[in-house]
Amino acid sequence: MGKDRRGGIMGLGTVAVTGAAGTIGGAVRAGLRAEAARLILVDRAPLRPEAGNEEVRTADLRDPAAVEAALAGSDRVLHLGGVPDEAPLPELLDANVLGTHHVLEAARRTGIRRVVLAGSNRITGFYPAGHATGPREPVRPDGLYGVSKAAVEALGQLYADKFGLSVLCLRIGSFEPAPTEPRHLATWLSPRDALGYVRAALTAPPVPGFTAVYAVSANTRRFWTLPGPAELDYAPVDDAEEHAASIPGADRAPDPAAPQGGAYARPEFTLPYLRRS
């Protein structure tokens, strides 16, 4: 694998992970530290290092100076931090959009060339389930959270085009230990495949530019296209179909005209978060 620019002998060099205390951060942590010379865990929640090559740095993503200090010395950044579901738009803009802006700006200022962003499948939740959706199609978010992730991708594109960063956005599927509902038969992202996508995104050559891909397992019923080798060199291995027998309703054919977002696309999912004028 060779040495990174700071002399590390591991393939990933020094990797900073924002939102390291979150669900996905916790799931990929062990796999990344096994390959990184140093793993910098960034979160505002308390964390403790679990290995000699782990370092914990406390930072609030809304504080640009704190973010820059937390990412200092990194070769690559995996940005997982932010609000992970539907919320009032001001909260989503504050945590997801401004937080991502601060991460990308810190990368620009400190010379970090590769940034991996946590996007979401919810950015295209209003495409019909019968449509094979690719990442180059116009966004159709199924809620305010999806809107914030569309802005995250726009920022990634901007920093790639204007400042030459290498930015890859993973449109993450339904990350669960195992699928538990019919929609998951299309959208499931297994922990093993999550680590595979993250590893591939971090180790891809840091060529300037922006790429978005769907991070989803090799589900027989999926309605998102898998990335090709030119986009991301990873082929998922798990299939939610292996769990179908244990999922109530899995034997019923889905409505091809129904939104891919399922319940997330219903008005009542977002209405509680809208402020009255």
- Each residue of 54-77: pLDDT tens digit? 999 999 999 999 999 999 999 999
- Spatial separation of the C-alpha atoms in residues 277 and 274, rounded to whole Å: 9
Q: How many domains does the chain have?
A: 1
Residue 7 scores a pLDDT above 70: no
Task: pLDDT band for 275, please (50, 70, 90 cuts).
Answer: confident
Task: Say if 54 falls within a structural domain.
Answer: yes
First to last CA, the chain: 57
Task: Say if 249 falls within a structural domain.
Answer: yes
Task: Say if 72 falls within a structural domain.
Answer: yes
Task: pLDDT band for 194, please (50, 70, 90 cuts).
Answer: very high
Task: Say if 1 falls within a structural domain.
Answer: no
- Spatial separation of the C-alpha atoms in residues 207 and 180, rounded to whole Å: 38
Q: Is 60 exposed, middle or buried (0-12, 13-18, 19+ CB in 10 A)?
A: middle
- Spatial separation of the C-alpha atoms in residues 124 and 122, rounded to whole Å: 5
Task: Say if 115 falls within a structural domain.
Answer: yes
Task: Say if 202 falls within a structural domain.
Answer: yes
Task: pLDDT band for 128, please (50, 70, 90 cuts).
Answer: very high
Question: Which residues, listed in sequence order, are joined to residue 79 by a DSSP beta bridge?
Answer: 18, 117
- Each residue of 203-240: pLDDT tens digit? 999 999 999 999 999 999 999 999 999 999 999 999 99
Active site residue 145: yes
- Spatial separation of the C-alpha atoms in residues 144 and 132, rounded to whole Å: 23
| Axis-axis angle for helices 191-203, 23-33 (nearest 10) | 60
Q: Please report, as a single letter, which amino acid is at residue 99.
A: G
Task: Say if 6 falls within a structural domain.
Answer: no
Q: Please report, as a single letter, which amino acid is at residue 144.
A: L
CATH at residue 177: 3.40.50.720
Q: Residue 138 is part of which domain span?
A: 14-273
Instruction: Give the max Cα distance, the chain.
Output: 58
Residue of 145, 159, 197, 234 marked active site: 145
Mean pLDDT (the chain) is: 94
Residue 6 scores a pLDDT above 50: no
Task: Say if 53 falls within a structural domain.
Answer: yes
